[in-house]
Structures are given as C-alpha cells and as structure tokens.
Amino acid sequence: MLDNISYFIRRALRNMRQWPVLCSAAILTMAVALATMATFFLVVINIQGLATSWSEEVQVVAYFQYPPAGNQLAPLIRKVEAFADVKQAIYITKTEALKRFEARLGDDAGLLEGVSRDLLPASLEISLKSGSHNREGVARVVAELKKDSRFDDLRFGQEWLERFENFVDLLKFVGLVLGSFFLLAALFIVSNTIKLTLYARRDELEIMALVGATKRFIQIPFLLEGALQGLASGVCALGFLTLAYKLLLQKSLQTFWLTPVGFDPIFLNGNQQLILVLCGILLGSLGSLVSLRKFVRL
Amino acid sequence: MLDNISYFIRRALRNMRQWPVLCSAAILTMAVALATMATFFLVVINIQGLATSWSEEVQVVAYFQYPPAGNQLAPLIRKVEAFADVKQAIYITKTEALKRFEARLGDDAGLLEGVSRDLLPASLEISLKSGSHNREGVARVVAELKKDSRFDDLRFGQEWLERFENFVDLLKFVGLVLGSFFLLAALFIVSNTIKLTLYARRDELEIMALVGATKRFIQIPFLLEGALQGLASGVCALGFLTLAYKLLLQKSLQTFWLTPVGFDPIFLNGNQQLILVLCGILLGSLGSLVSLRKFVRL
Amino acid sequence: MIQLFNVTKSYGKENVALREMTVHIEKGEFTYVTGPSGAGKTTFLNMLYGACKPTRGQILINGINITRMSGRQIPYLRRKIGVVFQDYKLLNSRSVYENVAFALEAQGKKRYEVSKRVYKALKEVGLEHRLQRKPIELSGGEQQRIAIARALVVEPLILLADEPSGNLDQEVTLEIMELFKRANARGTTVLLATHDHSLYKRFPKRVLGLEDGRLIMDHQP
Amino acid sequence: MIQLFNVTKSYGKENVALREMTVHIEKGEFTYVTGPSGAGKTTFLNMLYGACKPTRGQILINGINITRMSGRQIPYLRRKIGVVFQDYKLLNSRSVYENVAFALEAQGKKRYEVSKRVYKALKEVGLEHRLQRKPIELSGGEQQRIAIARALVVEPLILLADEPSGNLDQEVTLEIMELFKRANARGTTVLLATHDHSLYKRFPKRVLGLEDGRLIMDHQP
Ligand SMILES: Nc1ncnc2c1ncn2[C@@H]1O[C@H](COP(=O)(O)OP(=O)(O)OP(=O)(O)O)[C@@H](O)[C@H]1O
Ligand SMILES: Nc1ncnc2c1ncn2[C@@H]1O[C@H](COP(=O)(O)OP(=O)(O)OP(=O)(O)O)[C@@H](O)[C@H]1O
Ligand SMILES: [Mg+2]
Ligand SMILES: [Mg+2]
C-alpha cells in the first residue's frame, strides 16, 4: 500500500516534470480564477465590515420637553438601559447639543452665531446592543420610550435605516451572483484545461488500460497531479493576493470608504487563507475527476 | 485565390465541427474572460459617469455682507458671469437661504423654529463651466471674487473637492491595474487553451508539413478558426453582459449610487460593443498565432 | 484455454469483420492466425483481450465467459495476456524502460522486481542498450522489439502477437521466434497473426486461416 | 537525381545512424534499400525529404543542395516527393478520403481535380470502398495501402517507400509492387526500404545494402 502511494506520487511528479507546459497552464489558470474570486470576496467582506461598523452608529435619540431634574436623571437612565435592546444611554445637555450641532454644520457653523444657547432641547442618546441594529430593534425601543411622557420627540433615522438595510441586502445579492458566476467560470475553465491536458495525453490513458491497469490505478496519479496543481495554484493565488493587498488594495480601500468610523480594511484571516488553498486543491482534483471520467473508459 | 480562401474557411469550419469539445472550450474561456473585463469596464465607466455628474455640482458660493441694492445686482451678476470659468451665477436671498437650510437639515429642521428670518446672509451661487470643475478652476474664480469687497465670505468646499479628486484618481488607477490584470489573465488563459488545443492536434500539424504544405497553408485555417472562435466568444460575452445588465446591474447600480443627481447607468454604446467583439476576434487570432509559432516548425 | 462459439463481429450494418467463428485452442498451444489483409486477424485477437466485444457468440478464456465480463474485471483478464500490437502502441513521451516497466507497474509489482525483469526482457530482444531512449528515437524494428519485450515481461498465460515480424529482418525474426517458442515451452499459449508464409513453413505449428472473416482453414502440422 | 556525398548522420555523440555514405541514384531508377533492423534505412530516406539534416556531408536532389535549404523551401521539395512512412502517419480524426486528399490540397490543387485523383489512387490500392472510414477503423494492411495511395496520388518525381509491405500479404504485396513499377515506368525515381529478401529476388533491381550505418553493398542486377 505504502509502496503504491509512493509510486503514485512519483508518477504524478514525473508527469508534471514531463509536461511543464500543460502543468503550468493548469496551475496558472486555476491561480487566476482563485485570485479573482478571492478578490471579489475581499471586496465584499470589506464592504460588509464597513456596513457593520456603520450600523453600530444606529441609535435612538429621545428629546426631553423639559430637561429632567438632577435627581430624576439617574433612575431614568437606569430604566432605559434595562430595556432588552439597549446597550447604553447618554444624557446630552442643551449646551452640548448646540455644540454638536455646530460641529455638524461644519463650514456653516458661523451661521448659528448669536443664536440663543437654549435653541436645542436636551436629549438621551440611546445606543443599541449588537443584535438589535435593525428596524425591529429600533421599533421595540421606540415603543417602550413612547410610554414615557417626559420625552417630547423621538428620532431614529427610520428612513436612513431602511435605505441602508436595502443597500446591504443588495450588496450581498450582487456579491452572491458575481461570486457564483466567477466560481462557475473558474470551474469551467479549470475542468476544460484539465480536459485538454488529458486529451493531449489520451494515448497514455489508452495504453495503460491495454496493459491491464485498473481504472483506479490510472486515475489516482492524475487526481494527485490535479490536487498538487491545485495546491500550487492556491499558494500562487494567496501570494498574489497578499502582494496586491499590501501594495494596492489596502490603501485604496481605506481611501475609498472615506471612512467616518475607525474601520480597518480586512484581509483573509488564517482560516480563510487555508480555505483558499483547500479550494485550489478541491478545484484541481474535482477538475481532474470530472474530466477523467470522460477519458478513462475501460 | 478565391478558391483558396473558400478552402481555408471550409477547413476551419470542418475543424470546429470535428472537435466540438476543444472548440467550445476555447470559445467559452474567451467569452468568460471578455465578459469579466467588460463588466469591470462597465463598473468603471459608471463610477466615472457618476463622478462627472457629481463634479457638476461643484460651485462657489459668495456671501454678501449686506444684500446688494436692486439696481446693483444685475451688473454684478453680469460681471461675475463674464469670468472665463463661470457658467452661471444665481442670486439667493436671505429668505431663500433659510428655506434651503431648513430643507437641508431635514428631520432636524424643527430646531430652527422661531429663529429670525434674517439669520442667514444672501449669497451668489456660481456654477462653473464643464472644463473648470477642478481645483484650478475654483481657485481662479475665488481669486477674482476676492477682489470685490462686497463679498463677505467665500465657500467652495476646497477640502471636499480635493478628497473627491483624489478619489477619482484612485479609482482610475485601481481600474487600470485591475483591468490590465484581467487582460493579461485573459490573454494567458486563451493562449494556453489554444496551445493545448493545438497540442492535442500536433499530429495533424506534423503530417501537413510532411506532405508539403507551406507554413502559411498550415497556419491560416487555424488562425481563421481562432478568429471565428473569438467572434463567437465576443458575441457570447456581449449577450451575457446585456442580459446581466438588464436583469441585475442596472438596478443595482441605480440603488448603489443613491444618486443625488439624476444619473442614468451607462451601458456599452454601439462602438464599444463593436470593440468588445473585435477584442474577441483579436484575442482568438492572437492566441492562435502565438501558439502556432511554437507548434508549426518546419 | 480459449474457446470461441459462433463468434460474429460486425462494425455497423454491412461491415462484418468476423463471421460465425468457432474454434478451440488448448492450453500451451502455438497457433498461427493467417489470412489476407482485412481478413479479421486483428479483430480476432482484439476480442480475446477485451478490446471489443463480439456482436454475437461467446468467448471463454480459462473457462470464464469474457463476453459477460464487466469493465472492472477486464484489467485482471489483461494481466494474464501479453499483447504485441500491430501498431506497437508505445508511449513516445516515455523512455523505453518506462514503456516496458509500465506493464509490470500496472500490476502493482515491486520496484526492484520491475527493474530486474524489464532489464531481462530488453536483453532478450537485444535492446538493453536503448534503455533511456524514447521510442520515437528508435528504428521501426527496434520499436517492434520493445513492444514484444513489453508483452513478454509479464510472463503471460496467453501471448497475442499481431504481425510481430513485419518490420524485422530475417535474422531478428528468427531470434524473436525463438523467444516465442521458449515462452511457449514454459506453458504460454501463443497466438501469432502473420502474413509471412515462410514463418510457418520454417516453424510448423497449427495454422488458422481466415478469409473475409470466415475460418476457412484449421491445419495441424 | 539523388546524390549523397560523404553523408554522416549522428544523434547525440556516439549514436551514429549513417556513416560517410556516398551514393548516386539516377533519374527513373528503381532502388531497394536493405539492411537489418537499425541499419539506417529510415534515416537515409528521412534525409531525402528534409525531415532531418545530415550532420556532415551534402545531399543534392535534382542538382539542388537540400542541406542548405531554408525552412521556407522545404515544402516545395516535399511536393515533388511521395513518402510511404514506416508508421503510416495517417490522421485518425480524418476520413480515408481526406487523408489522401490532404497531399493534393496542400499543393493548392482544385477541388474537382482532387476528388478525381484521390478516387483513382484509392482504386489502385483496392480501397475505393473505404472512402468514408477513419484509418483507425481499418486493418493494418489497409492503413498501409492508404499511406501508399497518399504517396502516389501526387504523382511524385521521387517515391520513398519505407517498408511498404510489412503488413501486407503476398498477394497485395505483388499488386503494390506493380503500382510502384508502373510509377517507375512513368519516370518516378523509386527508393524502397525493405527487409523482404523475396521482394528483390522476385523483382530484381539495384540493391543498396546498409549495415550499422555503412553502405556495404551496391548491387546492380
Ligand atoms: N473499428 C473498426 N470499425 C469499422 N471497421 C473495422 C474496424 N476495425 C476493423 N474493421 C474492418 O474489419 C475488417 C477486418 O479488420 P482486421 O483489422 O481484423 O483485419 P486484419 O486481418 O488484421 O488485416 P491486416 O492483416 O491488414 O492487419 C477490415 O475490413 C476492416 O476494415
Ligand atoms: N531520433 C532519433 N534519435 C536517436 N537515435 C535515433 C533516432 N532515429 C533513429 N535513431 C537510431 O539510428 C539507428 C538507425 O535507425 P533507422 O530508423 O534508420 O533504422 P532502420 O534501418 O530504418 O531500421 P528498421 O528496419 O528497424 O526500421 C537506430 O539505431 C536508431 O536507434
Ligand atoms: Mg491486423
Ligand atoms: Mg526503418
């Protein structure tokens, strides 16, 4: 058995050495396909990462009709923070509110000069727990707050939230469609390349069968070869991706988002890198297998 | 000669019929490569289109210390509109300015209730000619305006403009890099596919040479075949792209931009569609040519 | 050993290569198969190692009906049979050594044993000095001898040799015939398809004569 | 017609296939090339149609030095030469008709002329009923005859036939020899490499004997 395995590996390696053109063609084709897919994946997870960091900003603002008295404030905050969806509630005084409004107006802040310091109401800024950054979570919190008559007005950017959620859904959908398209294209190209490789070597397959080799005996070295080529292509793709990311993508992503919150571009983590290489191996062996079934008829 | 051409075409077609696997493999590989590149191109031209429509909004706002008298306004506007970079100047009264500010605050507009109607100054909104939507154009206009003491303050979003220009530059750069990467990948995969195709048919090439066929006689049908396959793949890619655009991209692009200005997603125009198909033909014939030079040695 | 009952093989409708052939060949027999070009000699041999199935009729080898054999079992049948193909069927991308070793490796033989036996077989056909060449770098006759070495290296129960001396000069032909006779003496059943009258005149053995797919002669010396 | 001066062909360092061969063959001559397996017969013929170049020495065909010929001119040389390859070199993916027509199409012949001449050539080798088959669906001898038809269909100035009867029975061999003799009578220079002693005993012509790459015999009947 061990003898057999070493024989198969030797034959796979010998094949690859003997047909450097075919071998490198298959490897590079797979590497290109894998790198393309991984690039798309990177873009999608980065957008999603950004989306998550954006959605962390989702909060409900409750305006007071009259600023609460000093001793009423603490129990109120405790009460609000006890809601299932709420992470934290922060009190914003009138002065602070105006300061923020000025900051938000930016260039236009000068326009507020001379306006009464009382202009804006005091409020409670309520941030939500990570599971509740969506329409339902906001709705539940708003419903609870409405029961309290001390709140004059509630702001929660309903419209913005909906639009944002639609956008993320769309993004996922586009990513899925493009992703499957590329996966299919990659599989197709790879299995074609391997089919051509095998086609160019059909005499070999025929003669092996004629001298009494079993189907498995014929197929295993080719499968191994496919797997090895897949491994090589996975490593190539990973190397290419790392380089591209370091030199190009990282910077471009950072600028692209013009990110308001501190968001670091994400690269593939250890597991995902492993998966990429495994995908290569799978692609190579599957491609070989599919094509072999066509060529090794006994 | 005519006899020869018809013979070459017949042989190219016969070859393609005889090797449907090889033929469709080459066609589909090229189609995938072309479609990928064209998709990237579409995304880039759409972002650029959006960028252009965004940059049309670039304008300089000049605030008056005191609203100009009725008879002074018209000459002033004429003077400003005479600047080389200026397309149009529009006078905004104090009331109108406040109305706009309210609209801009959106949900927060309630906060301005009771504020004096005089809060905001009157201004001149100066839009620029299409060639001047950049830092230099804005700088020239601002320099001119500064000479006029009636203007209290000038706003032109310098910072935003810089950031935006950087972004567009980056986009072009990333597009170029990704584009060339895909072009190279496509060329590589196609020439490999064709090389494998020819490799699988090396006996044919050898025997042709042995019975006295000239190099050209051997190569032309393969070149023709490459060109025909390229044509087919170009048409496939175009069809796929149109379908994808109609079903998916158009909608997604529209939503994606959350476009503030009326911006219609762009599809390839007639010329570009032609170029895509021509690219296919070029790809096919070039791929054949490069590979043939390796295989047809006499 | 080999029994054919009413075997007919036709390609397409009207193209009949073998017609109602019934023949028995004993274990250890040496048999010539002769007949003009296109008589069906190759078709006959092809069916014995499962390269094609008869359209009608049954073929028994060692008592096993190979017309009913599944694809899984055919390799095991072939391991008992050495074949010298009319067109050699050598791999031009592999060395002579590898071509011959192939037949043994396919049977899962140990590396050491493979190299010993391959060397011996190549020596027998007089080509031990061509070990590392590619078949395409050999003369026609040398290629034919490689094909013979590959068939003999597995020490088969049955040897099917299709025109094994077509590209060999008389001297080498005699040597090869000696090899076949020696294998036959060790118990191998030999079937040798040939046009060469002088061959079976010089080494008289049983002769099966085919013509147009029919067995028209079965002559025991 | 064909003149060789001190032609040596070696593959690698010590593997010499032809040694210092000098021979003249007149226009319209019929010459056998004989010698044991590996003597250099195929190498000799290969050099005449430019498949390989001599390591040393000069070859003149029709007064033209083909050792100095560029790759561009070789096709035009080959159009004057019909070759029957030892391993046939037929295209298995093409029909018999196409295989034979190929040689004419490569010379840019008109379609009508091609079909007429192909049909005639196939008829001469007795295979006009195999027109639409693939070579792989033919017997060894039939393939050999297709290769002969392809060589003759171009009505060559020189015919190089490498072991053209290795897979043919005596009867067909005689027919083929008749074809060669008829072509020879029309003026074609014929070189026929063979092991078959009986062939040049039956049709006595000039015999060149090779051994180990050396010309050891040049016998005129
Ligand atoms: N795959 C095939 N498809 C169709 N016809 C075939 C096929 N193989 C053989 N034939 C036909 O069957 C007949 C017998 O062929 P076979 O190869 O058995 O002859 P053979 O006796 O070996 O002849 P040779 O001495 O020339 O090799 C021939 O007429 C041939 O054309
Ligand atoms: N491409 C090659 N590379 C290396 N050696 C070669 C090559 N072709 C032929 N030889 C060697 O040159 C010698 C002569 O070969 P050639 O094919 O001319 O012999 P031949 O007379 O045709 O023999 P046969 O009758 O067996 O066909 C042989 O020893 C062969 O091994
Ligand atoms: Mg036969
Ligand atoms: Mg030879």
Residues A279, A182: one domain? yes
> Who among A7, A203, A211 is closest to C78 (CB)?
A211
Contact predicate D128/D119, CB 8 Å: yes
Q: How far is residue B167's CA from residue B175's CA, in Å, rounded to a whole number?
A: 12
Question: What type of residue is B258?
Answer: L
Q: What is the pLDDT of residues A137-177, one digit of tens each?
A: 778 888 888 887 777 777 666 555 665 566 666 666 766 77
Beta bridge partners of D59: D4
Nearest CA to ligand 2 atom 18: D40
Interchain CB contact of B206 with D (< 8 Å): yes
Q: How far is residue D4's CA from residue B172's CA, in Å, rounded to a whole number?
A: 67
Residues B110, B146: one domain? yes
Q: How far is residue A211's CA from residue A6's CA, in Å, rounded to a whole number?
A: 21
Q: What is the pLDDT of residues C18-76, one digit of tens each?
A: 999 999 999 999 999 999 988 999 999 999 999 889 999 999 999 999 998 888 899 99
Nearest CA to ligand 1 atom 1: D137
Q: What is the pLDDT of residue B198?
A: 79
As for ligand 2, residues whose beta carbon falls within 6 Å of it are C 137-142, 167; D 11, 15, 17, 35, 37-43, 86
Q: What is the pLDDT of residue D117?
A: 95
Residues A262, A194: one domain? yes
Residues C101, C72: one domain? no
* pLDDT at residue C113 is higher than 60: yes
Residues A233, A150: one domain? no
Residues C199, C218: one domain? yes
> Residue C183 to residues C75, C152, C157: CA-CA distances in angstroms?
22, 8, 9
Contact predicate A50/A43, CB 8 Å: no
Interchain CB contact of B247 with A (< 8 Å): no
> pLDDT higher for A224 or A170?
A224
C93-112: string of b/e by CB count within 10 Å (b at 16+)? bbbbbbbbbbbbbbbebeee
What's the gap in Å between D43 CA and the centre of ligand 2?
A: 6
Q: What secondary structure letter does DSSP report for B121?
A: P
Of D155, D183, D209, which residue is a domain's last? D155
Q: What is the pLDDT of residues A115-124, one digit of tens each?
A: 666 667 788 8
Residues A188, A41: one domain? yes
Residues B173, B32: one domain? yes
Residue A211, classified by CB atoms within 10 Å of its CB into exposed (0-12), middle (13-18) or buried (19+), is buried
Contact predicate B60/B123, CB 8 Å: no
Q: In chain B, what residues touch D66 (CB-CB under 8 Å)? A: none
Contact predicate D88/D166, CB 8 Å: no
Q: Is D92 in the pocket of ligand 1 (CB under 6 A)?
A: no
State mean pLDDT over A16-37: 77
**Long-range contacts (CB closer than 8 Å, 24 or more residues apart) made by A135-141:** A135/A161, A135/A162, A135/A165, A137/A85, A138/A58, A138/A60, A140/A83, A140/A84, A140/A85, A141/A60, A141/A83, A141/A85, A141/A86
Residues B126, B254: one domain? no
Q: What is the pLDDT of residues D75-87, one digit of tens each?
A: 999 999 999 999 8
Residues D150, D162: one domain? no
Q: What is the pLDDT of residue A115?
A: 62
In C115-134, the residues whose Cβ lies within 8 Å of chain D are: none
Question: What type of residue is D121?
Answer: A
Residue D36 distance to chain C (closest CA, Å): 5
* pLDDT at residue A108 is higher than 80: no
Of D155, D180, D207, which residue is a domain's last? D155
Q: What is the pLDDT of residue D160?
A: 96
Interchain CB contact of B278 with A (< 8 Å): no
Give Cα C135 distance to the centre of its chain: 19
Q: What is the pLDDT of residue A298?
A: 43
pLDDT band (50, 70, 90) for residue A232: very high
Q: What is the pLDDT of residue A260?
A: 47
Neighbours of A7 (CB within 10 A): 19
- A229 phi-psi bin (left φ>0, alpha ψ -120 to 50, beta other): alpha
What is the number of the ligand closest to the CA of C41? 1
Q: What is the pLDDT of residue D118?
A: 95
Which domain covers residue B231, as residue numbers? 2-54+162-295
- Helix-helix angle A158-200:B158-200, to 10 degrees: 20
Ligand 1 pocket mutation, candidates C37, C42, C83, criterion most atoms within 8 A of CB: C42
Q: How far is residue D138's CA from residue C172's CA, in Å, rounded to a whole number?
A: 28
Q: Is D139 in the pocket of ligand 1 (CB under 6 A)?
A: yes
Percent of chain D with pLDDT over 90: 70
Q: In chain D, what residues touch B297 (CB-CB under 8 Å)? A: 71
Q: What is the pLDDT of residues C177-221, one digit of tens each?
A: 999 999 999 999 999 999 888 888 999 999 999 999 999 999 988
Give the H/E segment covering residue D84.
strand D81-84
Which chains have 3+ CB pairs within 8 A of A? B, C
Q: Token digits for A33?
A: 């396909």
Q: How far is residue C84's CA from residue C164's CA, in Å, rounded to a whole number?
A: 7
Interchain CB contact of C74 with A (< 8 Å): yes
Q: How far is residue B193's CA from residue A189's CA, in Å, rounded to a whole number?
A: 9
* pLDDT at residue A28 is higher than 90: no
What's the gap in Å between D142 CA and the centre of ligand 3?
A: 9
Q: Token digits for A298?
A: 């006994």
Q: In chain D, what residues touch B203 (CB-CB under 8 Å)? A: 89, 91-92
Q: In chain D, what residues touch C137 (CB-CB under 8 Å)? A: 11
> Who among C76, C103, C108 is closest to A211 (CB)?
C103
Contact predicate C84/C151, CB 8 Å: yes
Pairing mode, strands C81-84 and C64-65: unpaired
Residues C146, C191: one domain? no
Question: What type of residue is C79?
Answer: R
DSSP string, D70-112: -TTTHHHHHTTEEEE-TT----TTS-HHHHHHHHHHTTT--HH
**Interface probe, candidates D93, D95, D136, D153, chain B, greatest B C-beta count within 10 A:** D93
* pLDDT at residue A270 is higher than 50: yes
Residues C48, C97: one domain? no
State mean pLDDT over D113-130: 93
Residues D118, D163: one domain? no
Question: What type of residue is B126?
Answer: I
Q: Token digits for D208?
A: 């060149």
Q: In chain B, what residues touch D103 (CB-CB under 8 Å)? A: 211-212
Q: How far is residue C187's CA from residue C157's CA, in Å, rounded to a whole number?
A: 7
Beta bridge partners of A59: A127
Residues A20, A74: one domain? no
**Interface probe, candidates C92, C167, C198, chain D, greatest D C-beta count within 10 A:** C167
Q: What is the pLDDT of residue A33?
A: 76
**Interface probe, candidates D70, D76, D88, D107, chain B, greatest B C-beta count within 10 A:** D107
- By C-alpha distance, the chain D residue nearest B203 is D91
Ligand 2 pocket mutation, candidates C134, C139, C148, criterion most atoms within 8 A of CB: C139
Ligand 2 pocket mutation, candidates D42, D46, D48, D49, criterion most atoms within 8 A of CB: D42
Atom of ligand 1 nearest to the CA of C45: 18
Q: How far is residue B226's CA from residue D23's CA, in Å, rounded to a whole number?
A: 47
Q: Is C11 in the pocket of ligand 1 (CB under 6 A)?
A: yes
Residues D205, D176: one domain? yes
CB contact under 8 A, D86 and C36: no
SS3 at position B260: coil
Residues A174, A265: one domain? yes
Q: What is the pLDDT of residue B260?
A: 47
Of A92, A121, A156, which residue is a domain's last? A156
Which domain covers residue C55, as residue numbers? 1-80+158-221
What's the gap in Å between C144 CA and the centre of ligand 4?
A: 11
Q: How far is residue C111's CA from residue C105's CA, in Å, rounded to a whole number?
A: 8
Ligand 1 pocket mutation, candidates D96, D138, D173, criterion most atoms within 8 A of CB: D138
For A72-81, B276-285, D17-26, D182-191, which range has the lowest pLDDT when averaged over its residues?
A: A72-81
> Who among B163, B173, B200 is closest to A196 (CB)?
B200
* pLDDT at residue C166 is higher than 80: yes
Residues C129, C167: one domain? no
Residues C70, C131: one domain? no
Contact predicate A238/A231, CB 8 Å: no
Residues C55, C127: one domain? no
Q: How far is residue D91's CA from residue D101's CA, in Å, rounded to a whole number?
A: 12
Contact predicate D23/D208, CB 8 Å: yes
Residues B25, B135: one domain? no
What is the pTM assigned to this prediction? Answer: 0.77
CB contact under 8 A, C37 and D137: no
Residues C149, C167: one domain? no
Lateral strand order in the sheet of B59-64 = B86-92, B123-128, B59-64, B151-155
CB contact under 8 A, B211 and D78: yes
Give the H/E segment covering residue D24.
strand D15-25
Provide CB contacts within 8 A for A111, sequence distance 6+. A105, B101, B119, B120
Provide CB contacts within 8 A for B99, sequence distance 6+. none
Interchain CB contact of B119 with A (< 8 Å): yes
State mean pLDDT over C127-139: 91
Residues B71, B126: one domain? yes
Contact predicate A265/A254, CB 8 Å: yes
Of A112, A129, A156, which residue is a domain's last? A156
CATH of the domain at B121: 3.30.70.3040
Residues shown for chain D: 221
- How large is the ipTM? 0.76
Contact predicate C118/C95, CB 8 Å: no
Of C117, C138, C155, which residue is a domain's last? C155
Question: What type of residue is D38?
Answer: G
- Helix-helix angle A215-244:A2-18, to 10 degrees: 60
Q: What is the pLDDT of residues B132-167, one digit of tens each?
A: 777 777 788 888 888 877 777 776 665 556 666 666
Residue D129, classified by CB atoms within 10 Å of its CB into exposed (0-12), middle (13-18) or buried (19+), is exposed
Q: What is the pLDDT of residue B125?
A: 82
CATH of the domain at C25: 3.40.50.300
Q: What is the pLDDT of residue A144?
A: 80
Contact predicate B30/B192, CB 8 Å: no
Of A116, A135, A156, which residue is a domain's last? A156
What's the gap in Å between D89 CA and the centre of ligand 4?
A: 13
The overall longest dimension of chain C from CA atoms, in Å, is 51
Q: What is the pLDDT of residues D188-212, one digit of tens each?
A: 999 999 988 888 899 999 999 999 9
Pairing mode, strands C64-65 and C56-61: antiparallel
Nearest CA to ligand 1 atom 4: D137
In B127-166, the residues whose Cβ lies within 8 Å of chain D are: none
Give the H/E segment covering residue D43.
helix D41-48
- By C-alpha distance, the chain D residue nearest C89 is D87
Residue C7, classified by CB atoms within 10 Å of its CB into exposed (0-12), middle (13-18) or buried (19+), is buried
State mean pLDDT over D31-42: 93
**Closest alpha carbon to B105 in A161, A120, A92, A123:** A120
Give the H/E segment covering residue C48.
helix C41-48
> Who among C38, C86, C172 is closest to D36 (CB)?
C172
| Total number of domains in chain C | 2
Q: What is the pLDDT of residues D141-164, one digit of tens each?
A: 899 999 999 999 999 999 999 999
Residues B42, B168: one domain? yes
SS3 at position A262: coil
Give Cα A67 distance to the centre of its chain: 44
Residue C72 distance to chain A (closest CA, Å): 7
| Total number of domains in chain A | 2
pLDDT band (50, 70, 90) for residue B183: low
Atom of ligand 1 nearest to the CA of C39: 21
Contact predicate B195/B294, CB 8 Å: yes
Residues D100, D25: one domain? no
Provide CB contacts within 8 A for D194, sequence distance 6+. D32, D33, D34, D163, D164, D165, D200
